[in-house]
Amino acid sequence: ASLAAVRASEDAIHAFLLVDEEGARARAAEVQKKIDAGELTGPLAGVPIAIKDNICTKGLATTCASKILQNFVPTYDAEVITRLEEAGAVIIGKTNMDEFAMGSTTETSAYGVTKNPWNTEHVPGGSSGGSCAAVAAGEVPMALGSDTGGSIRQPSSFCGVTGMKPTYGTVSRYGLIAYGSSLDQIGPVAKDVTDCAALLQTVASYDAKDATSMKRDDYDFMSALKEDVSDLKIGIPNSYFGEGLDPQVKESILKAADVLKARGAEVEYFDLDLIDYAIPAYYVIASAEASSNLERFDGVKYGFRAKEYEGLHDMYKKSRSEGFGPEVKRRIMLGSFVLSSGYYDAYYLKALRTKALIKQEFDRAFEKYDMILSPAAPSTAPRLGESLSDPLQMYLGDIYTVSVNLAGLPGITVPCGMDDKGLPIGMQLIGDCFSEKKLFRAAYTYE
């Protein structure tokens, strides 16, 4: 059924970079036997799933939507893939994304744009736009995305699906092609909160292969799915609802707050400072880490190599010049600049200090509140092409998501309305580290 849905939708949506029809069929048959024999009983047994193309899949091309990785076929699986296989999930294919997860619209992909299933003249958001569009179009019930500064939560909002960025360290990054290693987390995208929790508990684990992996006491996220918010205190930051927020988005989020209140939660406005510093700090840190992480793509070890060159340095130069797209180059240049001698203290170190202050500000908020309610994005999905001409404007669209990554916190996006063009609006719930269960419960009660 999933493959039929893919066939029916892909011409219009282009959510996938690769559909592994043969592999999925074989795998489904094998899983069915195990289900029949009672060997597979978990919630993901036999469930079709799509994987963002920056997550390594053994034997299946993994390109990060970049020309530089066009021929790269990993020889190993990411830890999340091993977990999915053990649980009996069936991988349908790999989804489109912004090149190396840098972007907010999926338009920086080297392999064409993905369209928003609600209105194909609009973007699906990004960078996990392919994963979110695949779920929204009903091609798969769930998908994996990655979130460095909002890449699960923002496209989930634009596509009307549910997506979570877990606490940093909850899901192994082994086999996730790094963008900003201190910010990156893999997370679930699904049609509802229950599926999101089922997927997260399947892929979350302590993993010694990821040095920043965390051992948690409890991975049973589905046990949190109860309709009760009577013990929860929810804070709404005043500064998140000022200038720059689309009035229709604002109205939907505040209505969602009323719903949570009516269901028993205590809801209160409060001051959360430092929001103005989140975007500059994020783009300095993320670009710095990216410039270092992307050094390995030099035309030697992976995928693409320029056809004509003179000598080794020229080969590096031409391969990277031809292999990376403009947004990735912009980030590499920015990152190399802020890390270079003479600028390091003024930019990179200052951004790290700002990150620490933002974390402190959140810590203060969580002394008083169980969670924070906010928009996921300042607007609904922009039209195709609208964001590409002005990168700075695109960066500003990440205002509600990037601080969550800087502080390592979990955040979930749940659909909460539509604008007058019929485009979905999502609300974001942000919790303290390790509070995923509370977030799932609040989202489940709201839904």
Contact residues for ligand GLN (CB under 6 A)? 101-104, 127, 147-151, 179, 286, 398
Is 178 in contact with 82 (CB distance < 8 Å)? no
Burial of 47 (0-12, 13-18, 19+ CB in 10 A): buried
| Separation between Cα atoms, residue 280 and residue 236, nearest integer Å | 23
Scored b (16 or more CB within 10 A) or e, 8-30 reads ebbeebbbbbbbbeebbeebbee
Scored b (16 or more CB within 10 A) or e, 113-146 reads bbbbbbbeebbbbbbbbbbbbbbbbebbbbbbbb
Question: Considering beta carbons, is residue 88 or 130 the nearer one to ligand GLN?
Answer: 130
Question: In angstroms, what is the minimal distance from the CB of 107 to ligand GLN?
Answer: 11
Token readout for 230 is 């009577």
Question: Considering beta carbons, is residue 123 or 286 the nearer one to ligand GLN?
Answer: 286
| Separation between Cα atoms, residue 300 and residue 306, nearest integer Å | 10
Question: In angstroms, what is the minimal distance from the CB of 235 to ligand GLN?
Answer: 24
**Catalytic site positions:** 52, 127, 151
Question: Considering beta carbons, is residue 29 or 333 the nearer one to ligand GLN?
Answer: 333
Token readout for 412 is 């979930």
- What does the radius of gyration of the chain's CA atoms come to, in whole angstroms? 21
Scored b (16 or more CB within 10 A) or e, 227-253 reads eebeebebbbbeebbeeebeebbbebb
Question: In angstroms, what is the minimal distance from the CB of 402 to ligand GLN?
Answer: 7
Question: Considering beta carbons, is residue 136 or 377 the nearer one to ligand GLN?
Answer: 377
Token readout for 48 is 């079709």
Question: Considering beta carbons, is residue 101 or 135 the nearer one to ligand GLN?
Answer: 101
Question: In angstroms, what is the minimal distance from the CB of 32 to ligand GLN?
Answer: 35
- Collapsed DSSP state (helix, strand, coil) of residue 122: strand
Question: In angstroms, what is the minimal distance from the CB of 378 to ligand GLN?
Answer: 13
> How many CB atoms lie under 10 A from the CB of residue 274?
17
Residue whose Cβ sits closest to ligand GLN: 151
Question: Considering beta carbons, is residue 299 or 335 the nearer one to ligand GLN?
Answer: 335
Question: Considering beta carbons, is residue 53 or 398 the nearer one to ligand GLN?
Answer: 398
Question: Considering beta carbons, is residue 103 or 188 the nearer one to ligand GLN?
Answer: 103
Question: In angstroms, what is the minimal distance from the CB of 109 to ligand GLN?
Answer: 13
127 prior amide bond cis, ω within 30: yes
Question: In angstroms, what is the minimal distance from the CB of 397 to ligand GLN?
Answer: 7
Token readout for 58 is 């053994």
Angle at 59 between CA 53 and CA 62, to 5 degrees: 20
Question: In angstroms, what is the minimal distance from the CB of 282 to ligand GLN?
Answer: 7
* CA 349 to chain centroid: 26
Token readout for 270 is 């409060």
